[in-house]
Amino acid sequence: MKDLTPQAIVRELDRYIIGQQRAKRAVAVALRNRQRRMKLAEDLRAEVTPKNILMIGPTGVGKTEIARRIARLISAPFIKVEVTKFTQVGYVGRDVESIVRDLMDTAIHLVQEEKEGEVHQEAEQRAQDRILTYLLAPKTAREIEATLGGNEEAPEEPERARLEPAPAPVGKAARRNAGVETGGALMTAAAAQVAPARKDSPRARGAARKQRIAEALANHLLEERMIEIELESDDALGSMMDFMTTISDDPVEMMPGFLTTSLNGHKRTRRVSVRDARRILAQEEAHKLIDFDRVIEESTRRVEENGIVFLDEMDKIVGSKVDMGPDVSGEGVQRDLLPIVEGSTVMTRFGPVKTDHVLWIAAGAFHKNKPSDLIPEIQGRFPLRVELESLTESDYKAILAQPENALTRQYAALLQTEGVELQFREDGLDAMARYARLMNERMENIGARRLHTIIEKVVEEVSFNATEMTGQTIQIDARFVEERIGPIIADEDLGRYIL
> Taking CA 181 as the corner, what is the angle to CA 176 and CA 183, rounded to the nearest 5 degrees?
150
pLDDT band at 328 (very low <50, low <70, confident <90, very high): low
Nearest to 364 by CA among 377, 354, 373, 355: 373
CA–CA gap between residue 74 and residue 2 (Å, rounded):
6
Q: What is the full DSSP assignment across 318-381?
A: --PPPSSS---SHHHHHHHHHHHHH--EEEETTEEEE-TT-EEEEEE--SSS-GGGS-HHHHHH
CATH number of 6-109+301-387: 3.40.50.300
In angstroms, the CA 349 to CA 458 distance is: 49
Domains 6-109+301-387 and 393-498 share a fold: no
**What was the pLDDT predicted at 94?**
67
Higher model confidence: residue 85 or residue 252?
A: 85
Residue 106, pLDDT score: 94
Average pLDDT, the chain: 80
User: Phi and psi at residue 182, in whole multiples of 5°?
Assistant: -60, -50
CB atoms inside a 10 Å sphere around CB 50: 22
The class of domain 393-498 in CATH terms is: mainly alpha
Q: Which residue has the higher pLDDT, 208 or 482?
A: 482
Lowest mean pLDDT among 63-67, 96-100, 355-359, 489-493: 489-493
The whole-number pLDDT of residue 487 equals 83
> Strands 345-348 and 359-364, how do they pair?
unpaired
Residue 48 phi, psi dihedral angles, 5° rounding? -85, 110
**% helix / strand / coil in the chain, to the nearest 5?**
55, 10, 30
At residue 307, φ and ψ (nearest 5 deg) are -60, 145
pLDDT score of 102: 94
| pLDDT, tens digit (0-9, with 9 covering 90-100), for 174-210 | 444 444 444 444 444 444 444 454 556 778 877 888 8
Between residues 158 and 384, the one the model is more confident about: 384
Cβ–Cβ < 8 Å for 267, 231: yes
On whether the CB atoms of residues 422 and 474 are closer than 8 A, the answer is: yes
pLDDT at 318 (0 to 100): 83
Per-residue pLDDT band at 85 (split at 50, 70, 90): confident
Residue-wise pLDDT tens digits, 149-175: 654 444 444 444 444 444 445 554 444
Q: How do residues 391-440 score in pLDDT, each as one tens digit? A: 999 999 999 999 988 999 999 999 999 999 999 999 999 999 999 999 88
pLDDT over threshold 90, residue 91: no
105 has a pLDDT exceeding 90: yes
Residue with the bigger pLDDT between 265 and 15: it is 15
> Where exactly are the structural domains of the chain?
6-109+301-387, 120-153+199-289, 393-498
Answer for the pair 330, 100: CB distance below 8 angstroms, yes or no: no
CA atoms within 13 A on the CB side of 299: 28
